Structure 1
Amino acid sequence: MTEKMHVYQAIARAVSDHGVDTMFGLMGDANLFMVDSFVRDCGGRFVPAAHEGSSVLMALAYAHVAGKVGVASVTHGPALTNCMTALTEGARGHIPMVLLAGDTPVENPRHLQGIDQREVVKATGAGFKQLRTPATVAMDVARAFYRAQVERRPIVLNMPADFMWQDTSHSKHVLDVFTAPGGVAQGDILDEAIGMIASARRPMILAGGGAVAARAQLIKLADRLEAPLATTLKAKGLFNDHPYNIDIFGTLSTPAAYDLIAQSDCIVCFGTGLHDFTTDRGKLMKDKRIIQVDIEPTAIGGGLHPDAALVADSGLTAETIVYWLDEAEIPPSGFTRELDIEVLTAHPTGSAKTAEGCVNYVHTLERFEQALPENRVLITDGGRFMTEVWCRISVQDPQSFVVTANFGSIGLGLQEAIGAGLAAPDRPVVVFSGDGGFMMGGINEFNTAVRLGLDLIVIVANDSAYGAEHIQFIDRQMDPSLTEFHWPSFAAIATALGGQGIEVNSNDSLEAALDALKTRNGPMLIELRLDPHDVPRMRI
């Protein structure tokens, strides 16, 4: 059915037609009426952020945890430039979202906030879609949503402000997205890959974020081969409870698992780009056969070139390999019969001692692993502290884990935690941040979490320094004082912003904070006082 309405109403209706019920953003001249219509005419929920980039980050985490296309909206000019880091994070993380960005009026090329928004977006790696005319609103919105899903990245829909009060006709347009498995491995390269796998004596299965949906098939292949299973960081938790899951592969492995990987003679990789941290800059892949399977051709050969590359669906390929192994009556390798999984998954702990007035970070993480709610969603900011969190704090599954390090930035974690909290309203969200990251991007959105009443646990690792830089000065026997900061009390700030703040500077105060978790009501911030000389080095 076709209806007459204004363009701003048609945009809101078209977004709602795609099943969107939550939109993050900030209102300005070019998008305020569209946001109002989305709420009042379409029954949607608008989540206002304190910073435009935050709204994009919230939408990214919402998309990851909810399994939907995330949606955010900002106005033009500086509002869009404020989103550049967040858009780059989404593009590097292959996260489908749509940013409804206003643009200055077409009829006023000298507008104070005018900028070439297409070029801004292109620099981030996100996609750009122009709202062409008032008559094409529904199709342009549909195309933006289609591209976000197919291209697996943010798409910015550019909306000129002078279109908004023009009249148009609206009818529903939703473009079908091809979601069937994308390809079956076949041909000579498949035969070569199966030959390599069949002849391996110490094979291993590695799954990345692109193979999460193939969990059952990959386990079946691993069991058939008697091969251990491992994941990249993005797929952390995928093989929980499997008896031969060695957890994260690469620089984040335990020492025993790292040695095991080095001993392997064949790695069958599904849905992973084999980045430097996964392969330890290629060291872990030497003297072994590498088979790489990915539906995205551009994901293959980026870090190193495999011995066999299959552009195919991970699940179907695993099933195909099992079929031909059975047909040829290839015996299992027996590799897993030698393994002691408890030794392979145990990270070293060391001493619990540290400086006076501080807590030992590794010991504290071990206590958090025991005390945090088991059904948590885990978010990590960037920084020196993060690798130990990745290794020591478990997650239920990859969808319950958001890594905000796709662009190597700090200061993104708390914003994404808010999006995750709205995507999983019945689950607590735990976010680990450093002191620098919290000051950069967390402090301005903590009150947003308070206003929303989220069940959010923020753990700030405060070593009063930019730790990654601090340790570089120490290593070169230079004065690290330029990296050190006398921050205000984060616990006091959290309380002032309407949440609950607790400072931890001893083992006794740590235990008191863990007890307080049981009676929390709304956002809670736990500030860990750390010695900058005693925080473990990054494992990447």
Structure 2
Amino acid sequence: MSDRKQYMHQSVAQAVRDHGIDTMFGLVGDANLFMANHFVSGCGGTMVPAAHEGGTVLMAQAYTQVTGKVGVATVTQGPGLTNCFTALREGVVARRAMILLCGDTPVTAPFHPQNIDQREVVKATGAGFEQVKSPETAARDVATAFYRARKERRPIVVNIPSDFMWAEVEHQTVVFAYPEATAVITEGPVHEEAIGMIASAKRPLILAGAGAVSAKDKLIALAERMEAPLATTLKGTGLFKGHPNNIGYFGTLSTAEAYDVIGAADCVIVFGAWLHFLTTDRGALLKGKRVIQVNNSPSDIGAFFQPDAVLIADAGQTADNILYWLDEAEIAPSGFARQLPSHDISVHPKGDPEKSIDGCINLEYALDRLNEALPENRIMLTDGGRYITEVWCRVSVPDPGSFHMTDNFAAIGQGMQQAIGAAHGDPTRPVVLFMGDGGFMMGGANEFNTAVRTNRDLIVIICNDSAYGAEHIQMLDRQMDPSLTEFKWPSFAEVARSLGGQGVEVTSPEGLEAAIEAINARKGPIIVDMKLDPNSVPRMRM
């Protein structure tokens, strides 16, 4: 091979590196082994070796969210891809920009035992598909996948036939510039109508979602000018923490007092949120109110609720513009925020340690105590399960960018993988993962060792009710035998130690204090196995 040429698998690895990516998550097989090897040995990249193919995709998704880069994963052909099905769907629903470099069986071997129509598999998940058309186009095809991932905000699978891998090509650097959307404000009748609704409101309230995080200061300025309460969606959690106008969550996660404030509002100005049905409590919280929705993504409008006015515009600039017109028209402040109680109504009532029964700990108390004791600069992730809404209500984060939910597809068992990806995305901060016992056994146990092998600062809190809790309560509600939902698991603390990490079991308030001491003294990944009574875990706030 001449000095100017390289093999195609080397060109693919270099194409990834050309995009500024230095970390790849993967599990190697026949069809991606040499590409992954060259990424490390020839390109100076880091390969994080997962225990399961689906874990690679989930790790890359969390890496995307923490770093803002396009996460990259790689798996082999056939079963390597089919094992990623649920993870790819999670990325589609969560709108994560990542790419999966997937080997494929040789085009000349249709009877290969791992042959499957990989395009159709990917298509069913909703992810994008980018075929490497020839060895000569491979670098450009990878660049197209990176561009599409950012533009389409979903995983893109790059399909690479394995019989191309050793073809000689001349690598050319191809990186497509991605134009950032121009920040705009609206004009015309709809804009004027929206301003009129806001100006005439007696009890206005500002609601912010993930799309308005960068506009925090401008939203606060508008709220102070209007004397309006501030609330957030789940994905905007913590945005207004500490501000006197903050009432916390808007929706089914609200405290009772915050819910009453929302109910009393006559106008809701929504920035960067798509008004999910749980945010609106299935429309109940917006009934009888004027709703103005500000969002720079037209596809987010009307998915769950039709507002009275829609402004396809930048959140920060629109907040500035509203404030300007309120001043120009000399509109008096509403005084609504001055009616808020003097105490913080975003905080749920404290849990009672006396409600802990023998051999178990009360979940509300345990979460309140952990909220106080866990590292303040934490990144927090939650898996799925009955316990999850109680975690969201009681365990805070420094800012919205420090919170990640891993069950956008409502699938449990994906938290450990994403926690590892987050820990690689920002190794300077501790990552705290809350997950259930079922989720740990389904997808957490196998990847906990990955956290150990890669030496991540990971704190795993298992809310262990020895059951599939949501199903357990449904059986009880119908006065049916819940035994099919109950499990006698091994000691997760012992499992953690056998996998090379640390483990501690909590069965009482005193045991929780010992666990907190172990967390503070940790030297690597640690699992805290909190035993819960399956009959007293709070119902989901849905």
TM value normalised by structure 1: 0.98
3-state SS of paired residue (2:446) = coil
More moved, 447-456 vs 220-229? 220-229
The number of aligned residues is 539
Amino acid at match of 1:7: M
Alignment of 1:53-132 (within 5 A): 53-132=54-133
Q: Are 2:377 and 1:375 aligned?
A: yes
Is the CA contact 1:224–1:332 (under 8 Å) kept in the aligned structure 2?
Answer: yes
Amino acid at match of 1:416: Q
Q: Are 2:325 and 1:324 aligned?
A: yes
Structure 1 runs (4+) greater than 4 angstroms displaced: none
Unaligned runs of 5+ in 2: none
Amino acid at match of 1:457: I
Partner Cα distance (1:149, 1:356) in 2:
51
Partner Cα distance (2:95, 2:296) in 1:
13
- 1:358-412 residue CA offsets vs partner (Å, 9 max, x unmatched): 1111000111011100011101000001101001000011111110121111001
Alignment of 1:74-473 (within 5 A): 74-340=75-341, 342-352=343-353, 353-473=355-475
Structure 2 counterpart of 1:529: 531
Is the CA contact 2:249–2:346 (under 8 Å) kept in the aligned structure 1?
Answer: no
Partner Cα distance (2:123, 2:321) in 1:
39
Partner Cα distance (2:248, 2:104) in 1:
46
Partner Cα distance (1:208, 1:76) in 2:
39
Is the CA contact 2:251–2:278 (under 8 Å) kept in the aligned structure 1?
Answer: yes
Partner Cα distance (1:186, 1:237) in 2:
32
3-state SS of paired residue (1:170) = coil
Structure 2 counterpart of 1:510: 512
Q: CA deviation at 1:517?
A: 1.5
Amino acid at match of 2:376: E
Structure 2 counterpart of 1:33: 34
More moved, 515-524 vs 341-350? 341-350
Structure 2 counterpart of 1:46: 47
Partner Cα distance (1:341, 1:426) in 2:
37
3-state SS of paired residue (1:460) = strand
Partner Cα distance (1:82, 1:396) in 2:
35
- 1:494-539 residue CA offsets vs partner (Å, 9 max, x unmatched): 0111111101001111111111222110011100011001100000
RMSD over aligned CA atoms reads: 1.3
Structure 2 counterpart of 1:9: 10
Q: CA deviation at 1:86?
A: 0.8
- 1:35-57 residue CA offsets vs partner (Å, 9 max, x unmatched): 11110111000000000000111
TM value normalised by structure 2: 0.97
- 1:37-95 residue CA offsets vs partner (Å, 9 max, x unmatched): 11011100000000000011111111111121111011111111111111111111111
Q: CA deviation at 1:241?
A: 2.5
Is the CA contact 1:244–1:341 (under 8 Å) kept in the aligned structure 2?
Answer: no
3-state SS of paired residue (1:290) = strand
3-state SS of paired residue (1:369) = helix
Amino acid at match of 1:29: D
Is the CA contact 1:256–1:343 (under 8 Å) kept in the aligned structure 2?
Answer: no
Structure 1 464/425 Cα, relative in aligned 2: closer, same or farther at 3 Å? same
- 1:20-49 residue CA offsets vs partner (Å, 9 max, x unmatched): 000001011111111111101110000000
3-state SS of paired residue (1:445) = helix
Q: CA deviation at 1:194?
A: 0.7
Partner Cα distance (1:31, 1:169) in 2:
20
Q: CA deviation at 1:341?
A: 5.6
Structure 1 341/132 Cα, relative in aligned 2: closer, same or farther at 3 Å? farther
Amino acid at match of 1:478: M
Partner Cα distance (1:425, 1:496) in 2:
24
Partner Cα distance (1:264, 1:374) in 2:
33
Q: CA deviation at 1:333?
A: 1.3
Is the CA contact 2:204–2:269 (under 8 Å) kept in the aligned structure 1?
Answer: yes
Structure 1 368/31 Cα, relative in aligned 2: closer, same or farther at 3 Å? same
Amino acid at match of 1:142: A
3-state SS of paired residue (1:72) = strand
3-state SS of paired residue (1:128) = strand
Is the CA contact 2:383–2:436 (under 8 Å) kept in the aligned structure 1?
Answer: yes
What percent identity do the matched residue pairs reach? 61
Unaligned runs of 5+ in 1: none
